[in-house]
């Protein structure tokens, strides 16, 4: 785990991608806040998928504990 974390920290996001988000993030998404622009404009489907997986896991656990 520590090895993976060290590899992750040693490889920063390429500056081209970072600069693209800074330069065009607000313009492409129409958001005022850059953090909101990235979160809602670019990562919304990723966040939706994570939420769906979490809800399915909760539903599965609820079904396991459901009394028949």
pLDDT at residue 53, rounded to an integer = 97
Tell me how crowded residue 34 is: count the other CB atoms within 10 A of its CB: 13
Number of structural domains found in the chain = 1
Rounded Cα distance, 25 and 34, in Å: 6
* Helix, strand, coil share (%) of the chain residues, nearest 5: 80, 0, 20
Q: pLDDT confidence of 58, banded at 50, 70, 90? A: very high
Give me the mean pLDDT over the 7-22 stretch: 72
Whether the Cβ atoms of residue 32 and residue 26 lie closer than 8 Å to each other: yes
pTM strictly above 0.75: no
Q: For 23-45, how does the pLDDT look when each residue is reduced to its tens digit (9 = 90+)?
A: 998 888 888 899 988 888 888 88
């Amino acid at each position: 785990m520590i090895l993976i974390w060290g590899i992750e920290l040693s490889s920063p996001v390429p500056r081209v991608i970072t600069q693209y988000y800074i330069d065009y993030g607000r313009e492409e998404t129409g958001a005022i806040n850059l953090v909101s622009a990235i979160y809602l404009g670019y990562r919304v489907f990723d966040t939706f998928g994570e939420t769906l997986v979490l809800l399915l896991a909760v539903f599965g656990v609820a079904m396991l504990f459901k009394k028949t």
